[in-house]
Structure 1
Amino acid sequence: MQAAPPADRRRRRADLLTHIVLILGVLLFALPVWIVLMGSTHDGAAIGRGEVPLLPGAQGLDAYRRAWTEGAVGTTRVPVALMLWNSFVMAMLIALGKIAISLTSAYAVVFFRFPGRMLAFWAIFITLMLPVEVRIFPTFKVVSDLGMVNTYAGLIIPLIASATATLLFRQFFLTIPDEFVEAAKMDGAGPLRFFRDIVLPLSRTNMAALFVILFVYGWNQYLWPLLVTTSADVETIVIGIVKMIGTESNIDWSVVMATTVLALLPPIAVVVLMQRWFVQGLTDTEK
């Protein structure tokens, strides 16, 4: 029997090493999620004693029922269903608002010629240099003065502008051939029709990719909702989890872990459902 050529052996060793690294990476990221999932089926006292569950417990789905309808003991007892809804509304409107504002602002900068056009673009771009912590207290003062504390508007409006998305759409619009613009002018298409019939269809994959990123960004917001919400009616799921584990004692760990699992489901669903458009938007270069 003839031995495999050295090149084939090296390739197989490289493939084996690659798969080992991938498996270790999956275990590294998946193990904490698995522990949380299994912990949600165990009694909270067992978890409080420091036991690390790796197999399902006898409690089953009871912690999910209590979390969904009642919330956790020792907190304001906000049902997880309400917190998930608040987070979903916040994340969805932030993502849609960022895309809408970024699309129109990038379209104006690229396809219109007016005094101060590049000054406006650089004014938007410079905001990337300012961390959120620098802007958050002036923003809170404005929101408070406008009476938007403890409202959906206060949660969403300050976060719907995105310099990063504007920059990405601008760079994409610059790749649209000038022939498209000239053909639209010859057909008598105005700016709004050109935007609707040409620019938007070409931008669909980019919009889908950005939507996934921005939805997860809005879903994971912590600092801003912590400042602008004090009412349980607009409490988000991230703030709810922090409050559940913020007490010194009497933490219902099974409900906390069940809430954490439920908080993972909407972002995972968005990523899975839009995976094809997400990957295409990040990699497709055809116009």
Structure 2
Amino acid sequence: MATETEPAIQADAPTLRQRLPEDLFVHVAIVFSIFAMAAPLLLALVMSTQSTTEVYQVTNLGIGSEGLSNYETALTDFNFATYLWNSLIMSIIIVIGKVGLSLLAALALVYYDLPFERGVFMFILLTLLLPVPVRIVPLFQLMADLGWTNTMLALTGPYIASATAVFLFRQQFMSIPSSLVETAKLDGVGPLQFLFRVLIPMSKGMIAGVCVITYIYSWNQFLWPLVAVTEQRSQVVQVGIRYIQGSAQAGLTQWGLIMAGAVIALLPPLVVLIALHRPLLQTFAIQQK
């Protein structure tokens, strides 16, 4: 009897492929991808705790002997706190100016009967072909003629106008039902009242997403602040990292200090990104549509 039932039992036993989840390989691929993308950040965190000698020891991948002293040195000896403050002020001004100007431009493009409206919109989009690095020489000459060099106006002025933000707000406003516009006209609501009472409340997610994108973009600026500002105390955090790189110890680059400065510079935009990640994803979804 045992020999007759044994094949039946073996046939009912689940195979290894059946015991494993169907999407196991997908999860393994996702975990591997996340680790691969996080590896540079993890390496920077480890190197920020190491001394210069420990960094140049390739086999040394553990926590260094410096601990948090590299962070303290970057904040105090290299005046990194001032750079952080300058970057924060610059980013906030750019976010407020860019979002405000883009909202008004999108309002005019969608709800006003402008002559050659489509041509104007296409011209705005064409400005994407001329980013700030391409216009850096005439922009610097303009800042010098206006006397804005070494000021916050020089850092923020070229970034106030944004074709991308205008495009996103235009698409958002066009998705709002036209019945609301007709009702507002019948009630005698003016353009600015309609913007603040209807459009902005209905576009909070989009506005928050654009603010996140603009803030991170402004925070990471390096080339234009390096050119427009010559006073070290007025520089931003990305250029501050370059100042740390310029200091060498016994002919060796102090990568521990550089990584500490990079981690400090990463924290503010990371906090903003985590706090407002949902509106950011919504912005990307609308942009794809």
TM-score in same-fold range (> 0.5): yes
User: How is 1:189-200 mapped onto 2 (pairs within 5 angstroms)?
Assistant: 189-200=189-200
Q: Which amino acid aligns with 1:196?
A: F
Scaled by the length of structure 1, the TM-score of the pair is: 0.88
**Residue 116 and residue 17 in structure 1: after superposition, are their counterparts in 2 closer, same or farther (change >3 A)?**
same
Larger-gyration structure (1/2): 2
Q: Which amino acid aligns with 1:103?
A: L
Residue 119 of structure 1 aligns with which residue? Answer: 119
Aligned-pair CA distance for 1:10: 11
- Structure 1 position 96 matched with structure 2 position 103: no
Aligned-pair CA distance for 1:62: 1.1
Distance (Å, rounded) in 2 between the aligned partners of 1:137 and 1:92: 25
Distance (Å, rounded) in 1 between the aligned partners of 2:75 and 2:112: 50
Count residues with an aligned counterpart: 275
Aligned-pair CA distance for 1:134: 2.5
- Structure 1 position 51 matched with structure 2 position 58: yes
Distance (Å, rounded) in 2 between the aligned partners of 1:197 and 1:120: 27
SS in 1 for 2:135: helix
Distance (Å, rounded) in 2 between the aligned partners of 1:110 and 1:151: 35
Contact 1:34 1:54 in 2 (8 A): no
Of the three residues 39, 45, 49, the one matched with 1:41 is: 49
**Residue 10 and residue 127 in structure 1: after superposition, are their counterparts in 2 closer, same or farther (change >3 A)?**
farther
SS in 1 for 2:221: coil
Residue 216 of structure 1 aligns with which residue? Answer: 216
User: How is 1:131-210 mapped onto 2 (pairs within 5 angstroms)?
Assistant: 131-210=131-210
Distance (Å, rounded) in 2 between the aligned partners of 1:52 and 1:182: 70
Q: Which amino acid aligns with 2:276?
A: M
Distance (Å, rounded) in 1 between the aligned partners of 2:34 and 2:72: 30
Q: Which amino acid aligns with 2:42?
A: W
Q: Which amino acid aligns with 1:261?
A: V
Aligned-pair CA distance for 1:42: 1.6
Q: Which amino acid aligns with 1:12?
A: P
Aligned-pair CA distance for 1:204: 0.6
Q: Which amino acid aligns with 1:184?
A: A
Aligned-pair CA distance for 1:250: 4.7
Distance (Å, rounded) in 2 between the aligned partners of 1:144 and 1:107: 33
Residue 257 of structure 1 aligns with which residue? Answer: 259
RMSD: 2.4
Q: Gaps spanning 5+ residues in structure 1: where?
A: 72-78
Distance (Å, rounded) in 2 between the aligned partners of 1:38 and 1:258: 9
SS in 1 for 2:134: helix
Sequence identity (%): 37
Contact 2:71 2:261 in 1 (8 A): yes
Distance (Å, rounded) in 1 between the aligned partners of 2:156 and 2:198: 30
Question: What whole-Å deviation, never above 9, does each CA across 1:31-90 have from its counterpart, x for those lacking one?
Answer: 11112111121222221x34354322222111111111111xxxxxxx110111111111
Residue 128 of structure 1 aligns with which residue? Answer: 128
Distance (Å, rounded) in 1 between the aligned partners of 2:88 and 2:48: 22
Contact 1:39 1:52 in 2 (8 A): no
Of the three residues 12, 21, 24, the one matched with 2:21 is: 12
Contact 1:87 1:236 in 2 (8 A): yes
Q: Which amino acid aligns with 2:268?
A: P
Aligned-pair CA distance for 1:4: 5.5
Residue 269 of structure 1 aligns with which residue? Answer: 271
Aligned-pair CA distance for 1:11: 8.7
Q: Which amino acid aligns with 2:170?
A: R
Question: What whole-Å deviation, never above 9, does each CA across 1:229-250 have from its counterpart, x for those lacking one?
Answer: 1111211111111232245635
Distance (Å, rounded) in 2 between the aligned partners of 1:52 and 1:265: 28
SS in 2 for 1:161: coil
Scaled by the length of structure 2, the TM-score of the pair is: 0.87
Q: Gaps spanning 5+ residues in structure 2: where?
A: 1-8
SS in 2 for 1:12: coil
SS in 2 for 1:115: coil
Q: Which amino acid aligns with 1:29?
A: M
**Residue 160 and residue 18 in structure 1: after superposition, are their counterparts in 2 closer, same or farther (change >3 A)?**
same
Contact 2:133 2:224 in 1 (8 A): no
Of the three residues 66, 70, 74, the one matched with 2:73 is: 66
Aligned-pair CA distance for 1:253: 2.6
Residue 233 of structure 1 aligns with which residue? Answer: 233
